[in-house]
Amino acid sequence: MSEFLLLRHRNQGEEDIADLDAYIRLGGFQAFKKVVTEMSSKQVIDLVKNSGLRGRGGAGFPTGMKWSFLADRFPRYVVANSDESEPGTFKDREILERNPFQFLEGLMICAYAAQANVAYNYCRGEFWMLAQELHGKVAQLHERGLLGEGIFGSDFALQIHHHLGAGAYICGEESALLESIEGKLGQPRMKPPFPADRGLYQQPTVVNNTETLANVPLIIERGADWYRSIGVAKSCGPKIMCLSGHAKNPGNYEVPLGITFRELIFGLAGGIRADRGLKAILPSGASAPILPATDAVLDTPLTYEDVPRVGSQLGSASIILLDETVDVSWAALKTTRFFKHESCGKCTPCREGTYWMDRLLERINNGRGDPADANLLGEVAKQISGKCLCPLGDFSVSAVVSGLELFRDDFVQHVRSGNQTAEKLTG
């Protein structure tokens, strides 16, 4: 099994392609030139549709389809979602650092396809240094005439603005992201209407993940058939897997969709640290159900279709490994602590429920819990599930519900030996 560097480095060896001259010398912006000078907006959308590219932000929605849904109103906007905030996700950052122009080129092609003249790149607040770099890169593109008025002698004009978030996980949710760009409190909007109809400033808007956009120039350059040849039928193309936790060699692995957990973990990443046993996998950060490290799971291909079959989601492929020493109730507390901290507070079940789950898990983990607390925890999680305004509410219960189902003993042992532990802690 070999790795790609298509998204992160255009497979360009030692070249520093974050340098505009190098990027252009190695064929950069040819795709953008091609779409602006040779293709209609519809042709671009059809090509991306045919390529089978699906959104890399987590939902896996077909990208070309998303572009074709735009309501027939102008102005339109395109927005890159670089608010990479899922625990265990660090792929967009590497793209922005090592291969920023390929991402920007993807954003520019997307803007052309959407007939938008203004594009935003929404970066998480912690990317402030990156955003400064990107400012400079956009200025360079203006100098070269790749941005601004009359690009390549056409009547296409484009501006790119970088917008820094203020450190909210929820702003990775597209409607909250749009609210944030508008200068409002980062809270998700009611859907429908969807951004394709009423997005930024109530105008038709495309929001795409950074990694998704980095795929686009490759598709234009090499064609849909080439792209489909990578990966499997419905999940094709290269994908960056962010492997963290107890892997021997954690990091980003750019692979074709469809390799198995086993190939990734034990093939590419060299197995588990200290050669311990693997207990469980969080395949999509804190947001999707925990998977047990069974053979059936390990042999599951990493695709948008196969991971749900074993009970979880591929999501943004932020794969966190838990070895046999990990107490899943502790891991569940980590996720609820995160969601309690990040809940925007707009809807009741998420605002109050994450807080309650956190209190329960803290009690359980401190050994101050009651034997009934494990059941109550499960019920509170169920109470949140399916009732929230945005998907993040449902995400918040994933680790708790699956953890309780698969590793109930991890939770129960604390409450069984509750008083002892409490004494230990206080004594």
Partner 1 sequence: MADFVKLKIDGQSVSVPEGTLIVDAAKRAGNDIPVFCYHPKMEPVGMCRMCLVEVGTPLRDRESAELQMDEHGDPQIQWMPKLQTACTVPVSAGMRVRTATENVTLARKDVVEFLLTSHPLDCPVCDKGGECPLQNLTMQHGTGKSRYLFDEKMQLQKRVPLGDLIFLDRERCIQCARCTRFQDELVGESVIGFDQRGRALQIVTFSDPGFDSHFSGNTTDICPVGALTTADFRFGARPWEMQHTPSICPHCAVGCNTHLNTRRSSLAGEHVIKRIMPRQNEKVNEIWLCDKGRFGHHFVGSPERLTVPLLRKDGHMIEKSWEHVLPLVAARLAAAGGAVAGLAGERLSNEDLFTFHTLVDGLGGGTMQWPGRMGGGDVVQHVGVAVGTDLAHLGADTVILVVASDLAEEAPLWWFKVRQAATKAGATSDKSRATLIVANARETKLDPFATHTVRYRYGDEVRTVLALTHSILGGDAGLAASVAEQYSTRVSEAARAIAAADNMIIIYGSEGLDFSGSSALAQACANLLISCGNLGSLGNGLLPVWPSNNTQGAWDVGVKPAGISVSEFTAAAEVVLLAGADPVGDGDALPDDAFVVVSELFSTESVRRADVVLPAQAYAERDGSFTSGDRRVQRFYPALPPRGQTLPDWKIFTRLTALLGLGAAAAGAGAVMQQIAAAIPHYTGITYERLAAVEQQWPDVGGRDSYYGGTAFENSAGLGVQTPTLAETGHFLQLGDVQSPPVESGDLLAVPVTLLYDRGSTLVRSEILHPRLPDPYVELNVADAQVANVASGDRVALCINGRTWELTARVSFRPPQGAALLPRGLGGPPLPRITPASLRKMAL
- For residue 23, give both structure tokens: 């990027």
- For residue 239, give both structure tokens: 């994908």
Site membership for partner 1, residue 366 (CB under 8 A)? no
- Phi, psi angles (nearest 5°) of residue 289: -55, 145
Specify the residue, 152 or 194, whose C-beta has the smaller distance to partner 1: 194
To partner 1, the closest distance from the beta carbon of 183 in angstroms equals: 11
CB 14 within 8 A of CB 5: no
Site string for partner 1, 307-336 (x = CB under 8 A): ------------------------------
- 138, 170, 288, 314: which one binds partner 1 (CB under 8 A): 170
Number of residues counted as binding partner 1 (CB under 8 A) = 30
Given the rule CB under 8 A, which of 88-96, 142-150, 310-318, 353-361 is the region that contacts partner 1?
353-361
Site membership for partner 1, residue 73 (CB under 8 A)? no
DSSP 89: -
Collapsing DSSP to helix, strand or coil, 319 comes out as strand
With both helix axes pointing from N to C terminus, report the angle between 328-342 and 408-416 in degrees, rounded to the nearest 10. 100
CB 164 within 8 A of CB 123: yes
Specify the residue, 142 or 387, whose C-beta has the smaller distance to partner 1: 387
- 27, 75, 145, 345: which one binds partner 1 (CB under 8 A): 345
Specify the residue, 222 or 368, whose C-beta has the smaller distance to partner 1: 368
Site string for partner 1, 126-165 (x = CB under 8 A): ----------------------------------------
Hey, which residues between 175 and 194 contact partner 1 (CB under 8 A)? 185-187, 190
- 354, 365, 398, 421: which one binds partner 1 (CB under 8 A): 354
Among 184, 178, 88, 82, which Cα is nearest to 134's? 82
Dist. CA 285–CA 282, nearest whole Å: 6
- How many of the other CB atoms lie within 10 Å of CB of 136? 11
- 113, 168, 230, 412: which one binds partner 1 (CB under 8 A): 168
Specify the residue, 383 or 413, whose C-beta has the smaller distance to partner 1: 383
- 146, 293, 389, 401: which one binds partner 1 (CB under 8 A): 389
- Residue bearing tokens 């989601």: 313
DSSP 148: B
CB 206 within 8 A of CB 196: yes
Strand partners, 209: 81
Dist. CA 181–CA 178, nearest whole Å: 5
- Phi, psi angles (nearest 5°) of residue 122: -90, 110
Specify the residue, 261 or 339, whose C-beta has the smaller distance to partner 1: 339
Hey, which residues between 40 and 59 contact partner 1 (CB under 8 A)? none
Specify the residue, 318 or 354, whose C-beta has the smaller distance to partner 1: 354
Among 323, 426, 311, 418, which Cα is nearest to 372's? 418
- 388, 400, 404, 415: which one binds partner 1 (CB under 8 A): 388
Specify the residue, 328 or 344, whose C-beta has the smaller distance to partner 1: 344
Alpha helix (H) residue ranges in 194-264: 210-228, 261-262
Site membership for partner 1, residue 387 (CB under 8 A)? yes
Q: Under the rule (CB under 8 A), what is the footprint of partner 1?
A: 168, 170, 185-187, 190, 340-349, 351-356, 359, 376, 379, 383, 386-389
